[in-house]
Amino acid sequence: MKRSIASVLRSQSTTLVAIIVVGTVLLGIASSGNFFSPIPFRTFFQFLAVPILIGLAQMITVAVGQLNLAVGAIGGVAAALSAVMMADAGVPVWLGAVVPLVVGTLAGLVNGWLVVLTRINGFIVTLATMTILLGAQYALVSTRTVSAANWAPLADIGKATVFGLPVIFLVSVVVAILVALAFRYTVTGRSLLASGDNPEAARLAGISNDRSVIVAHAASGLLCGVAALVSIASLPGINQSVGGDWLLPSFAAPIIGGVALTGGSVAVLGTVLAATVVRLVDTARAEFQLAPAWVNFVIGAVVLGTVALGRVRQVRQERRLGAERAREASSTAILEKTR
């Protein structure tokens, strides 16, 4: 029990919570309390939903030893198709809400199938599908912005709050909990981790790595679809830029959150917290009216810093183990001399 408390104190999540608390307080002071008034508070969480969802989407592919460069393109095309169907084809809103989920899952399935069938590196496969999907998104909406007026009931849900928290943020939290439960309590979830950690051992234990890769990409695509749905509900309109700025944040959240890029591990809480930190940086940027480029600068630097810090920790731990062994060896040597 003691050990688990100590590990909680040392964990990445604790650091992130501390950063969030300090950052929130500083923002509160800088905005002379304005940050805590209902509208900025709601806006903060409203635009936290997508970063959480795409961070989780990326985390799932990273866990199995893959990556998904197409998160933004999948989300963008799913949102565009749904928007065009509702606006131009008169598709009912409830059906329009299902479309992004189906499109996302299918796109993810295709990514997974391609990786498994061609045995080509997931980097190249998703880079290619990303480019194709971006083309499709442009073909669907071209230069127009499809107005949210075409799906008023959905837009209402996008604005709705429960106890002051936006419904779409709560959706992303529920999704995060489901993802965490899946990795903890389902055989499929554990199989993904096994495949990501040591594919050879997983294969010899009767786990299909191919299946793991396909499932991971499909789940990742589904979450991109959820992010697309959330975007439809919360944005004033859908155009070709939706999803265009998702790629870096999708990697930033899991990496800062403590997920190993080598595969085999997940950190749902860490990913959610890291997405929150990124959102704080964005809010601070708006508060101090800095150019949006600063956010990219800060996030890029934080990602590099996190990776470097992780490495320093690892080296330190190895040193400590070595020193312990030296102490042990010298004490036994002394013991033997006195004998």
Partner 1 sequence: MNPEPPTGTPRATATLEALHITKTFPGVKALDDVSIRLAPGSVHALLGENGAGKSTLIKALTGVHQPDSGSIVVGGAERRLSDPSAARDAGIGVVHQERNVIRGFTVGENIVMGRMPRRAGRIDWAGVTREARRCLELLDLELDPSTPIVDLSSAQMQLVEIARALYTETTVLLLDEPTASISAAESDRLFRVVDRLRDEGTAILFVSHKLEEVYAHCDTVTVLRDGHSVLESEPLSAHSHDEIVDTMVGRALGSLTVPDRRARPVAAPALSLVDVTTTAGHHGVGLEVRPGEILGLYGLVGAGRTELAHAIVGLERITAGELRVNGEPVRIRSLREALHRYRVGYVTENRKEEGVFLEQSITRNIAVTVWSKLQRGPGFISAKKERDLVAGYVSDLDIRISSQSQLTGRLSGGNQQKVSLAKWLAAEPEILIIDEPTVGIDLRTKRSFYELIWKLADEGMAILLISSDLAEMITLADRIAVMDRFVINGELENSHDYDSMSRDVIHLIHSGAEVAR
Task: Name the site residues for partner 1 (rule: CB under 8 A).
Answer: 184-187, 190, 193-194, 197-198, 200-207, 264-265, 319, 321-326, 328-330, 332-333, 336
Cβ of residue 267: shortest distance to partner 1, in angstroms? Answer: 12
β-partners of residue 238 are 146
Contacts of residue 37, defined as CB under 8 A and 6 or more positions apart, other chains included, come to: none
Q: How far is the CB of 193 from partner 1 (least distance, A)?
A: 6
Under 8 Å CB-to-CB from 258, ≥6 apart: which residues?
Answer: 11, 12, 13, 265, 267, 270, 310
- Min dist. Cβ of residue 178 to partner 1 (A): 13
Of the chain, the end-to-end C-alpha distance in Å amounts to: 38
Nearer to partner 1, 243 or 264 (CB): 264
User: Between 181 and 286, whose beta carbon lies closer to partner 1?
Assistant: 181
Instruction: Report, in Å, the least distance between residue 329 CB and partner 1.
Output: 4
Q: Is residue 226 within 8 Å of residue 175, measured between CB atoms? A: yes
Residue 109 CB, nearest approach to partner 1 (Å): 22
- In the complex, what is the shortest distance from the CB of residue 214 to partner 1, in angstroms, rounded to a whole number? 17
Closest separation in Å from C-beta 115 to partner 1: 20
Q: Which amino acid is at 184?
A: R
Q: How far apart are CA 242 and CA 71, in angstroms?
A: 11
Angle CA 13–213–218, to nearest 5? 80
Distance of alpha carbon 301 from alpha carbon 288, whole angstroms: 19
| 164, 37 Cβ separation under 8 angstroms | no
Instruction: Name which of 4 and 289 has its Cβ closer to partner 1.
Output: 4
Nearer to partner 1, 24 or 198 (CB): 198
CB of residue 263 to partner 1, shortest distance in Å: 9
Residues 209/188, Cβ–Cβ less than 8 Å: no
SS3 161: strand
Q: How far apart are CA 231 and CA 133, in angstroms?
A: 17
Take residue 29 and report the two structure tokens written for it.
């002071």
Q: How many CA atoms lie within 13 A of 320 on its CB side?
A: 6
Least separation in angstroms between CB 142 and partner 1: 46
Buried b (16+ CB within 10 A) or exposed e, 65-93: bbbbbbbbbbbbbbbbbbbbbbbeeebeb
Which residue, 30 or 321, has its beta carbon nearer to partner 1? 321
Choose between 131 and 188: whose C-beta lies nearer to partner 1: 188
Smaller CB separation from partner 1, 159 or 319: 319
Q: Report the residue number, 23 or 310, with the smaller CB distance to partner 1.
A: 310
Please say which residue, 193 or 281, places its beta carbon nearer to partner 1: 193
